[in-house]
Chain A
Amino acid sequence: MGNKIKILGKTNKNSLMGFINYGIIILFFVVITIVKQAGALTNALSGQLIPICAYIVMALSLNLVVGISGELSLGHAGFMSVGAFSGVIVSGAMNYGGVTNGAIRLIVAMIVGAILAGIAGVVIGIPVLRLRGDYLAIVTLAFGEIIKNVLNCLYVGVDKAGLHFSVTDEAHMDMSAEGVTLVRGPMGAVGVVKASTFLAGIILILLTLFVIQNLVNSRTGRAIMAIRDNRIAAEATGINVTKYKMIAFVTSAVIAGSAGALYGLNFSTIVPKKFDFNTSILILVFVVLGGIGNLTGSIIAAALLTVLPEIFRPFQDYRMLVYAIVLILVMIATNNERLRAFWKRIGHIFRKKGGELNEQ
Chain B
Amino acid sequence: MLNYLISGISLGSVYAIIALGYTMVYGIAKMLNFAHGDIIMVGGYAAFCAGTYLGWPVPLAILFSMMICTILGIVIEKLAYKPLRNATSLAVLITAIGVSYLLQNLALLIWTSNPKAFPNMVNFIPSIVLGKNSDNPITISSATIVTIAASIIIMVALTLFTGKTKMGKAMRAVSEDKGAAQLMGINVNATISVTFAIGSGLAAIAGVLLCSAYPTLMPTTGSMPGIKAFTAAVLGGIGSIPGAMLGGILLGILEKFAQAYISTQLSDAIVFAALIVVLLVKPTGLLGKKMTEKV
Size category of the B interface is: 35 or more
* Distance of A142 Cα from B268 Cα, bound (Å): 9
Q: Which residues of A contact B263 (CB under 8 A)?
A: 153
Name the A residues within 8 Å of B265 (CB-CB).
149, 152-153, 185-186
Interface pick from B11-19, B40-48, B79-87, B210-218? B79-87
Chain B, range 203-258, C-beta contacts under 8 Å to A:
227, 230-231, 234, 238
- Across-interface contacts of B273 in A (CB, < 8 A): 142, 146
Known: A149-B265, A321-B106, A328-B99. A285 touches B83 (CB 8 A): no
In the complex formed, the residue of A with least CB distance to B106 is A321
| Interface contact tally, CB-CB below 8 A | 120
Q: How far is the CA of A134 from the CA of B87 in the complex (A)?
A: 15
A106 sits at the interface (CB 8 A): no
What residue in chain A is nearest B288 (Cβ atoms)? A135
A288 touches B275 (CB 8 A): no
Q: How far is the CB of A97 from chain B (nearest CB, A)?
A: 31
Q: Of the candidates A320, A327, A335, which one forms a contact with B97 in the assembled complex, judged by CB atoms under 8 Å apart?
A: A327
From the candidates A139, A149, A327, A335, name the one contacting B269 in the complex (CB within 8 A).
A149
18 pairs, CB–CB < 8 Å, chain A vs chain B: A72-B89, A131-B279, A137-B93, A139-B279, A145-B268, A145-B272, A153-B263, A153-B265, A186-B265, A281-B97, A320-B105, A324-B101, A327-B98, A327-B101, A328-B102, A335-B88, A336-B83, A336-B87
Additional A-B contact list (9), CB under 8 Å, known A142-B276, A325-B98, A331-B94: A138-B231, A149-B268, A149-B272, A152-B265, A153-B265, A320-B108, A321-B109, A324-B98, A324-B99
Question: Which residues from chain A sit less than 8 Å from chain B, CB to CB?
Answer: 66, 72, 127, 130-135, 137-139, 141-143, 145-146, 149-150, 152-153, 185-186, 232, 277, 281, 284-285, 288, 292, 317-318, 320-321, 323-325, 327-328, 331-332, 334-337, 339
* Interface, chain B (partner A; CB < 8 A): 26, 32, 80, 83-84, 86-91, 93-95, 97-99, 101-102, 105-106, 108-109, 227, 230-231, 234, 238, 263, 265-266, 268-269, 272-273, 275-276, 279-280, 283-284, 293, 295
